[in-house]
A and B are shown apart, each in its own frame.
Chain A
Amino acid sequence: GAGVSQSPSNKVTEKGKDVELRCDPISGHTALYWYRQRLGQGLEFLIYFQGNSAPDKSGLPSDRFSAERTGESVSTLTIQRTQQEDSAVYLCASRRIGETEAFFGQGTRLTVV
């Protein structure tokens, strides 16, 4: 595709439910990142994938958060037993190895009620 695509664009879920957020990176981009953006805040790093391995998971805030990636393609971020503090925009970015620019998706706005 032309850019990084994320789905759904909006998700409202009840506290305690699990959610899955999807990211389709730009074709050929082996580096993939997930970030969280709380209202009025900067982007917090969550996890980095190189291919389908995750050498840096240091930003995942708790064991309720996990992510996986299939090959050099789609990634899913799963949040189990959602809490109200998980409400945020979750952004995915991808980058071609050897280049510096990271391209962002439009994000998934998650609201936990």
Chain B
Amino acid sequence: GENVEQHPSTLSVQEGDSAVIKCTYSDSASNYFPWYKQELGKRPQLIIDIRSNVGEKKDQRIAVTLNKTAKHFSLHITETQPEDSAVYFCAASKGSSNTGKLIFGQGTTLQVKP
């Protein structure tokens, strides 16, 4: 069945360093890959997404890369700040023309030390 694996489960970095979170997906029909940030006790919020016709997308300090052949996608955060500390979830979907159902990874707890 559909599955998304996410690594690492926890990540601790020094303020200013980069952080990388990696995901793999099983369903080759997946074509939409969002990343959500969830702060403690709050709702998940979309921070960046990528579609399968694009290999990389960047938004300020955040970038996402996609390798369709290997079925891998990654989140890159540069110049990390303490407010980046949160749980990050990757997800995969067959897109809005299908049900739009998101299959989530298990999450990565990112701690940015000041």
Q: Which residue numbers of A lie inside 8 Å of B, CB to CB? A: 4, 31, 33, 35, 40-45, 48, 50, 55-56, 91, 93, 95, 97-107
Whole-angstrom distance between the Cβ of A33 and the nearest chain B Cβ:
7
Interface band, chain B: 20 to 34
Contact A100 B106 (CB under 8 A): no
Residues of B within 8 A of A56 (CB): 99, 101
**Contacts A106-B43, A107-B43 given; 8 further ones with Cβ under 8 A?**
A4-B43, A33-B101, A43-B91, A91-B44, A100-B34, A100-B51, A101-B49, A106-B42
Residues of B within 8 A of A33 (CB): 100-102
A55 CA / B99 CA spacing, docked (Å): 8
Please judge, given known A-B contacts A48-B99, A100-B34, whether A42 and B45 are in contact too, CB under 8 Å.
no
Contact B100 A42 (CB under 8 A): no
Q: Which residue numbers of B lie inside 8 Å of A, CB to CB? A: 4, 6, 32, 34, 36, 42-46, 49, 51, 89, 91, 93, 95-96, 99-107
Contact B42 A98 (CB under 8 A): no
Contact A43 B43 (CB under 8 A): no
Contact A95 B43 (CB under 8 A): no
Contact A105 B101 (CB under 8 A): no
Residues of B within 8 A of A99 (CB): 96
Whole-angstrom distance between the Cβ of B49 and the nearest chain A Cβ:
7
Contact A41 B99 (CB under 8 A): no
Whole-angstrom distance between the Cβ of B95 and the nearest chain A Cβ:
7
A11 CA / B111 CA spacing, docked (Å): 30
Smallest CB gap from B49: residue in A: A100
Residues of A within 8 A of B96 (CB): 31, 95, 97-100
A43 CA / B101 CA spacing, docked (Å): 11
Whole-angstrom distance between the Cβ of A2 and the nearest chain B Cβ:
13
Residues of A within 8 A of B101 (CB): 33, 45, 48, 56
Please judge, given known A-B contacts A91-B43, A106-B43, A107-B43, whether A42 and B104 are in contact too, CB under 8 Å.
yes
